[in-house]
A and B are shown apart, each in its own frame.
Chain A
Amino acid sequence: MKNRSWAFLAGGLLVALLLAGVVSNYASSHPDGLDSSLLKGCTVDADDNIVGGSCPAQQARDHELGDSPLADYGVRGVENSFLSTGLSGVLGVLLTFAVGAGGFWLLRRRGATTPAEGDVETSADDRRHADANG
């Protein structure tokens, strides 16, 4: 890859890390669209815990891996909730990038005869050609 592709990747990752590591602490903690729809019929308290009524959400069971060290977007053992959420976000971004980029790299088509446009090194000839036309 050319340098500017690396720069774009690095810049994009930095933005993702800041969003997941810092901004995530300012996210709304109310139930999302799915959860709130499943809570219809139940009454909830200020912390969104079910206190009465009947609704689909009451059937929810524990997660198989609910005791994972990063469960519920926190790092187990980190008391400070700002740090805990932020750190879990940073780890999540790095892990997702590693799994995604690694997996896609293994899957990519190799020995391609049509190199990607942005990475093509324009030859001097091509450039003269372009200048003449432009």
Chain B
Amino acid sequence: METLAMHISNGIIDGPVAAVFAALALAALTGCVLRGRRDLDDRLAPMAGLVAAFIFAVQMLNFPIFTAGVSGHLLGGALAAMLVGPWVGALCVSVVLVVQALVFGDGGVAMLGLNITNMALLGTAAAYVLIAVLLRVLPRTPAGLAVTGFVAAMLSVVVASQGFVLQYWLGGTTDLGGNLASLAGTMAGVHLLIGIGEGLITATTVVTVAKVRPDLVYALRGLRPATVPTVPAVGGVR
């Protein structure tokens, strides 16, 4: 079987830029630890471990996209943000990326900061902003939750892909001859398609968890009174 790599390999981005992003990622993750501790209680800690393990498993499942010869896989930022919140969520995706780099030879160890920045930080942050907005405007129903998960996941993947384009602009090892826009376009296009898969997986998983254990969906905290529909009141006295 050919070498299977899903993340940025060594040699793609030069050393200095990779080192800068490693420092950046470390600083941001420290912030996530400090802020995430407020969310991490006896119940959320093992749940967050499960979210990381689940993301690892689903990342192995490359799915074909409409373009021939290209596959996509879950990144997981949106899923993690919906289930355990943005701070712990970013840490969950980072755990997956660290295990993949150190044990599975996937994503260069020197490139870890770049991969964490794109998928764990940018992806999760973009997803959470969208989740916060969408949950406010959409009806608090399973359908509303599904649409939120789908849209947040899809767009977060495109944002993450553009993080790589930025990194390539700063330290790409091949001179694209001013063709950075072409790389950006290719990355955005292919990740929009991958985003559909990411969206479907995220929406399905979140709706399933919400059905079994709504109290374990971080995005639903504080919204719960409204998720219990008081339908009989509608159209009563008129």
Contacts and interface: CB of A to CB of B under 8 A. Distances in A.
Contacts of B104: 68, 70-73, 88, 92
Interface stretch (B125-133, B208-216, B230-238): B208-216
Contacts of B193: 33
Nearest to B182: A40
A8 B19 CA distance: 40
A73 B70 contact: no
A109 B43 CA distance: 11
A118 B57 CA distance: 27
A32 B83 CA distance: 26
A94 B54 CA distance: 10
Interface in A25-44: 27-38, 40, 44
A28 to B, nearest CB: 4
B139 interface: no
A33 to B, nearest CB: 4
Contacts of A30: 62, 64, 69-71
B19 to A, nearest CB: 14
Given A37-B183, A95-B103, A1 B42 contact: yes
B224 to A, nearest CB: 9
B186 to A, nearest CB: 5
A77 interface: no
B54 A108 contact: no
B36 interface: yes
B1 A29 contact: yes
A86 B41 CA distance: 33
Contact of A71 (B2, B41, B69, B105): B105
Interface string A55-70: 1111111111110101
Contacts of A38: 12
Interface string A1-40: 1001100110011011101100110011111111111101
A52 interface: no
Contacts of B52: 96-97, 99-101
Interface string B92-120: 10011011111111101110000000000
Nearest to B110: A64
A9 B212 CA distance: 12
Interface centre among A40, A74, A101, A119 (most CB of B within 10 A): A101
A95 to B, nearest CB: 6
Contact of B56 (A29, A37, A92): A92
Interface of A: 1, 4-5, 8-9, 12-13, 15-17, 19-20, 23-24, 27-38, 40, 44, 47-49, 54-66, 68, 70-74, 81, 88-89, 92-105, 107-109, 112, 115-119
20 contacts: A9-B46, A17-B57, A20-B60, A30-B70, A34-B161, A37-B190, A56-B172, A60-B9, A73-B4, A96-B55, A97-B49, A99-B52, A99-B95, A100-B53, A101-B45, A101-B46, A102-B49, A103-B95, A109-B41, A116-B41
Given A63-B105, A88-B104, A93-B53, 8 more contacts: A33-B71, A33-B193, A63-B108, A65-B101, A65-B102, A72-B104, A72-B105, A107-B33
